[in-house]
Amino acid sequence: MDIYFDSYKIAALEKQDDAVEIIRSAEANIARLTGSPVTLIAFEKSEGTER
């Protein structure tokens, strides 16, 4: 899997409480399934980049 970080930036979710709660819930569910803690990171496509 190729990930191009120059094409993405961390998503600004400070004012997106519902989105943050969905991510936290997904982290908890995945941790429960795998038995290991996980952290999910939200990226958004940077403007002016195409891949």
Q: 11-42: per-residue pLDDT in tens?
A: 999 999 999 999 999 999 999 999 999 999 99
> Is residue 11 a part of any domain in this protein?
yes
> Is residue 50 a part of any domain in this protein?
no
> Is residue 10 a part of any domain in this protein?
yes
> Is residue 38 a part of any domain in this protein?
yes
Question: Is 44:8 a contact under the CB 8 Å cutoff?
Answer: yes
> Is residue 51 a part of any domain in this protein?
no
> What does pTM read for this prediction?
0.75
Domain count, the chain: 1
Domain range for residue 9? 5-45
Q: What is the pLDDT of residue 8?
A: 87
* Amino acid letter for position 36: S
Q: What is the pLDDT of residue 1?
A: 62
> Is residue 13 a part of any domain in this protein?
yes
Q: What is the pLDDT of residue 14?
A: 94
